[in-house]
Structure 1
């Protein structure tokens, strides 16, 4: 035992320090305490990366640490996001046999007809933005909400625990498929822990219950199965990924080169049919109106932690004298769509390494042009980056913590100088890496 401790003294101290930081984060942090949040986030980033470096050849220890860090959050109520109240609300509606897409929580309260017991507490817990708008969570995500509500009964904490169990299980699945995919691509298998040990992933997904991790489990499974040439089976998992979060839709065109046009058309058709089956129980005129109007809000109403869009907004104020988000948001979405189509024709997408790199950059383009970039949105490019040579998304996962400054202000007002600092660092590292790897590729051609 003494010999073990002497050999592993530093990794053990780092592990225990991480545990202490995560406990402080989960049980002793207010979202308004920006400097404490930033200190814990930054400290965890440095400590976790050092722990990864010291133990990168011991996957069992890394996996055990990744799971333990997540389990520390198990009984904590999320402290950086109120979204989980809406998750449980939607789940309880489903248990009552009510379509969650048809009415907003605010509409239920204005009518005076509460749909289930405990509705008042959930309504008061969620943000006014969530309460006033229709749900935009796809059907498979709704199923997880319903299961958490079923197993959790009338207890919010028990429902939270079950939501967290689903997300932790998805991360274990990401380890399973990620390790296999890395091995096939001739990358170190330990690279998957650049995602699994990243504090952003642990805090925002496990801690704050965002379901990007579940979506990414299905996406990674689809990509691994696609590499194994079982492309129709891959379409099933790809559909499940979209049915948790819609974001993988932007990756579909990038599969064209990998599959060839005949298989691609069948793949797209299979994905569409399976998605339709997921949505079928909820379909109605009201569903379509509410669901798509909710999605539209992300392009025409919501603003948070944006980069290029904020520059365009400033120009709009100077030229037009008002916020031009109603025009700029859809226009930028169009630029993303055209960029993805252009990337879809690249020859490099025929190989899995090239495809994964294109997917990462496709998601990066989407986020750099988006009007809203919450920290947990980075989970997708972060996971994709571990299958590439690029590491600038790792830096972004640290810098994005600066966006939480807005929550320390009375009116949630962003400091644009802080946002500028975040993106100057990100763009600087990204441009450096792009130039560096292009020069390396040219050297060996």
Structure 2
């Protein structure tokens, strides 16, 4: 069907665009070094342009777009990630579990430093992940650890084999997101092709399928949970939300926002509050049950320290934090993250509570919009914003009229250029590049949220 003459004449342009995309994805997967910045940007810009045109031309052909999403991901199956080292730690954690170790209780360095090699290819994994990753306790929640262990079960002695297994899990999650995302869009009377602004986006294909970031699995559970909530199965929605948190902790920022969704929908205040409390309880119980096999006092201490690093130690691709840091340097002169890192969570909590109680979040679109705004505010104030973090903003935006996350998914490639001085004496980030990224993002954000108010859903 796809290769007969009539079909080709009818869809000549999309087919040529798709074939060009396949070639570019192949080059990205197998012929790109991260430090080849010009090639990196050129490939990404070309892929993004082709993606935009494909969705634009084929928005009435959901099956065609779905096949393209499969095909583009399949290109990466046998590729070793070239923009991230994190997958080496994933493989290490999974193999540690299978050897009977609790991965939360040991750093990689604690073994390698004593010439101990508890898993297959230990030295190779250590060399691949780098000293920074090896020196800290793992921070990946239990469902994430389960994915790592599955990779170890099917390929316990081969790095590429483990990569392939993890990649297949992430691809499966993406198509779970496609399934429930389409169903939720239909229920909300929104165009179903909007889900392809996420599924077919080269940012998602490269960062999740290509670089093996498990935000895709977390997002699958999050969208499934929102669908279940919308159709009234709130108990199961709570369980699935707990699963989402057990992949990545970021959905923990959302539960307060469900307040109005429950309390403003039932005539009985007592009944609605009871449902809300039950919802929170089920989420918490699900998370606790999943973490329970790893529990020990040492685990609590190690995990808390590791999570705290993202507030008090790590700095990358930040925006408002870098401005605050520069201001602080003028009168304190050093270690601004130790001060700002303690204040930022308080500011974020106040913002979340403000959105919770003073903004209409009664229906599903309003709720998702609130989630988008809250998570955006968190990333705007965060000390560390890795590229793959934007995936959650992008999927939430699919169900709203806001497009700034789509723009961010394009300009986020600039964050990979932050260390243009990496081979020079100056190892710091290039703040001009970061400023360019956020000038574009904030410009679109301010236009959509504060100026072009006709597009707003609240």
Q: TM-score range by the shorter chain?
A: over 0.9
Superposed displacement of residue 344, structure 1: 1.1
Match in the other structure for 2:230: 227
**2:387 maps to what in 1?**
375
> Residue 143 of structure 2 corresponds to which residue in structure 1?
140
Decide which of 320, 324, 342 is 2:332's aligned counterpart: 320
The residue number in structure 1 matching 2:453 is 438
Question: For 1:421, which of 406, 428, 436 is the aligned residue?
Answer: 436
SS at match of 1:41: helix
> Partner residue of 1:166?
169
In the other structure, the counterpart of 2:46 is 43
Q: How far did 1:412 drift? A: 4.9
Residue 196 of structure 2, aligned match among 193, 214, 221: 193
State TM-score, norm by structure 2.
Answer: 0.95
Equivalent in the alignment of 2:413: 401
Q: What is the rounded CA distance, in whole Å, between the counterparts of 1:117 and 1:210 in structure 2?
A: 22
- Say if 2:300 is the partner of 1:297: no
8 Å contact 1:239–1:271 — kept in the other structure?
A: yes
1:151-210 Cα distance to aligned partner (Å, 9 max, x none) = 112010000000000000001100110001101111100000000011110000000000
After superposing the two structures, state which structure 1 stretch, 399-408 or 27-36, moved more.
399-408
Distance in 2 of aligned mates of 1:38 and 1:413: 20
Alignment counterpart, residue 282 of structure 1, candidates 266, 270, 294? 294
- Contact 2:95–2:156 at 8 Å: present in 1 too? no
Runs of 5+ consecutive residues of structure 2 not aligned to the other structure: 264-272
Provide, for residues 6-43 of structure 1, a one-character-per-residue CA deviation record: whole Å limited to 9, x for no partner. 11111011101111111111100001111111111111
> Shift of residue 347 of structure 1?
4.9
Deviations 1:46-97 (A, max 9, x none): 1101010000000000010011111100000000000000000000000011
Is residue 80 of structure 1 aligned with residue 83 of structure 2? yes
* Pair 1:381–1:338, CA change in 2 (3 A): same
Contact 2:108–2:134 (Cα < 8 Å) also in 1: yes
One of 282, 285, 296 as aligned partner of 1:273: 285
Aligned to 1:256: 259
Picking from 72, 79, 90, the partner of 1:69 is: 72
Give the match for residue 151 of structure 1: 154
Q: Give the CA deviation at 1:341.
A: 1.2
Where does residue 240 of structure 1 map in the other structure?
243
Deviation at 1:262, TM superposition (A): 2.1
- Deviation per residue, 1:242-280 (Å, 9 max, x gap): 000000000011111112232111111111111111111
Distance 1:412 1:99 in 2: 35
Count residues with an aligned counterpart.
443
Q: CA RMSD in A?
A: 1.3
From 208, 211, 216, the equivalent of 2:211 is 208
Counterpart CA distance in 2 for 1:293 and 1:232 is 32
Report deviation, 1:359: 0.5
Q: Using CA pairs below 8 Å that are at least 6 residues apart, which structure has the higher relative contact order? A: 1
Unaligned runs of 5+ in 1: none
User: Does 2:378 match 1:366?
Assistant: yes
Residue pair 2:401, 2:455 contacting (<8 A) in 1 also: no
CA contact (8 A) 1:144 1:163 kept: yes
CA contact (8 A) 2:92 2:119 kept: no
Take 2:209 and 2:345, find their aligned partners in 1: how far apart are those partners? 29
Please say if 1:332 is aligned against 2:344. Answer: yes
Look up the match of 1:310: 322
